[in-house]
């Protein structure tokens, strides 16, 4: 495929993948992983390709790169024993999106006792912590976060070694700034009139910035609790709740939009295994957000206990899956975009 692209070059103006191919005369596996993580899978080059199937050359850049990209996630993943999770989307979906919330709620019910678990609570009493103590919550999620972040960091390190360390020259503040801008604006998730008219970028922004806002909400809440000594739940107009609500809306709209675009894509435009991985991550984000809102709405009712269990279970599922699911694409994409900027980017 890369040889056909390098001889043709018609797609050179579409995105930085093609200039990256043209800068090489031969292609190592590491090069292919770099192209793959640089590709945003917009599909425009497939429509532009004079050699796309059913042409006998059968060039399908997006699908070829999607398979390489998925394999690269497994290649970088640590501990490697878990890398199989990238492929087993049904299993991970059941474990993280269904079993984790159910088991979590069940565990809370047992530890807190049925009476506390099912009793209506008032915000003023620090409702959440009557069901699960703050120490337990921090201990559990802190632990999960440490493990996840550790696994992620090792993966990032391996990806960085593969994608960036070989780049010449090394990253500079200028190239890093440009790469960050390209990533944060999703410069290359371009509108492709035949496929999504630019909505994919909008939904991705909702999802990504929604995720960031929710993360910010949690961080502010941690400051409130630990430094100010203010206990959750916080009032509706407090900073953590407002950030969480905004981010949560993004995390509902974004994943729905992205899923909608995904299912409407014709089958021949999918890498099957990648599709499953994408769906798991989007469902987890959506579930986290929806259960968060339900918890907000029901927090002074008898359903608060079970809702808290389900929400925290969903969050736990999301956390555990971070290093072994679609979440990692962002990290490696950043590396690949940075390398492309270093090499000269889109001509």
Partner 1 sequence: MEKRAAMDSDQVYDVLVAGGGNAALCAAITARTAGAKVLVLESSPKHFRGGNSRHTRNLRCMHDRPSPPLTGSYTAEEYWRDLSDVTDGHTNEVLARMVIAGTASCREWMIDHGVRFQPSLGGALHLSHTNAFFRGGGKSLINAYYRTAHRLGVDIEYDTEVRDIGIDEGRFEHAVVVHNGQERVIRAKAFVAASGGFQANLNWLREAWGDAANNFIIRGTPYDTGVVLRALMDRGVKTTGEPTQCHAVAIDGRSPRFDSGIVTRVDAIPLGIVVNTRAERFRDEGEDLWPKRYAIWGRLVAQQPDQTAFVVFDAQAIGLFIPPMMPPVEAASLAELGALLDLDPVAFTRTVSVYNDAVQPGTFDRTALDSCTTQGVVPPKSHWARRIDTPPYYAYPLRPGITFTYLAVVVDERARIVWEDDTPARNVFAAGEIMAGNILGQGYLAGLGMSIGTVFGRKAGEEAARSARDDR
Say how far apart CA 231 and CA 217 lie, in whole Å: 14
How big is the site for partner 1, counted in residues (CB under 8 A)? Answer: 29
Least Å from the CB of residue 26 to partner 1: 10
Decide: is 8 part of the binding site for partner 1 (CB under 8 A): yes
Contact between residue 116 and residue 131 where contact means Cβ atoms under 8 Å apart: yes
- The answer to whether 65 contacts partner 1 (rule: CB under 8 A) is no
- Nearest-angstrom CA–CA distance, 326 and 254: 15
Classify residue 165 by its DSSP letter: T
Smaller CB distance to partner 1: residue 52 or 303? 52
SS3 257: helix
Nearer to partner 1, 291 or 340 (CB): 340
Judge contact between 241 and 296, C-beta under 8 A: yes
Part of the chain binding partner 1 (CB under 8 A), chosen from 32-40, 47-55, 77-85, 312-320 = 47-55
Q: Please give the Cα distance from 46 to 26 (Å, whole number).
A: 22
* d(C-alpha 46, C-alpha 304), whole Å: 50
Helix then strand count (H, E) for the chain reads 16, 0
**28 binds partner 1 per the rule CB under 8 A:** no
57 binds partner 1 (CB under 8 A): yes
Taking the least distance from each CB to partner 1, the nearer of 7 and 227 is: 7
Figure out which of the listed residues 17, 36, 49, 283 binds partner 1, where binding follows CB under 8 A: 49
- Binding window for partner 1 (CB under 8 A); candidates: 10-18, 62-70, 111-119, 247-255: 10-18
**Tokens matching residue 173:** 């503040």
Among 55, 80, 181, 197, binds partner 1 (CB under 8 A): 55
The site for partner 1 (CB under 8 A) is made up of: 3-4, 6-14, 19, 22, 25, 44-45, 47-52, 54-57, 193-194, 347
């Amino acid at each position: 495929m890369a040889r056909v692209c390098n001889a043709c070059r018609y797609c050179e103006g579409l995105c930085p993948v093609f200039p990256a191919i043209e800068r090489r005369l031969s292609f190592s596996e590491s090069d292919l992983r770099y192209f793959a993580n640089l590709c945003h899978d917009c599909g425009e080059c497939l429509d532009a390709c004079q050699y796309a199937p059913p042409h006998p050359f059968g060039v399908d850049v997006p699908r070829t790169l999607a398979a390489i990209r998925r394999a690269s996630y497994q290649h970088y993943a640590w501990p490697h024993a878990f890398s199989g999770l990238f492929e087993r989307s049904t299993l991970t979906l059941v474990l993280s999106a269904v079993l984790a919330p159910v088991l979590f709620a069940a565990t809370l019910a047992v530890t807190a006792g049925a009476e506390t678990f099912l009793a209506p609570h008032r915000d003023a009493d620090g409702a959440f912590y009557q069901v699960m103590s703050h120490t337990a919550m921090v201990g559990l999620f802190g632990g999960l976060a440490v493990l996840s972040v550790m696994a992620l960091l090792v993966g990032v390190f391996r990806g960085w070694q593969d994608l960036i360390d070989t780049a010449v020259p090394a990253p500079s503040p200028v190239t890093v700034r440009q790469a960050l801008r390209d990533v944060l604006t999703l410069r290359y998730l371009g509108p492709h009139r035949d496929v999504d008219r630019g909505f994919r970028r909008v939904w991705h922004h909702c999802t990504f910035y929604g995720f960031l806002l929710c993360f910010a909400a949690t961080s502010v809440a941690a400051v409130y609790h630990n430094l100010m000594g203010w206990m959750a739940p916080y009032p509706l107009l407090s900073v953590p709740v407002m950030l969480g609500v905004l981010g949560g809306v993004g995390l509902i709209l974004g994943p729905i939009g992205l899923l909608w675009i995904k299912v409407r894509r014709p089958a021949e435009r999918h890498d099957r295994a990648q599709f499953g991985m994408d769906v798991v991550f989007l469902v987890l984000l959506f579930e986290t957000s929806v259960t968060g809102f339900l918890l907000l709405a029901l927090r002074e009712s008898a359903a608060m206990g079970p809702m808290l269990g389900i929400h925290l279970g969903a969050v736990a599922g999301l956390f555990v899956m971070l290093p072994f699911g679609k979440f990692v694409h962002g990290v490696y994409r950043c590396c690949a975009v940075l390398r492309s900027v270093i090499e000269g980017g889109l001509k």
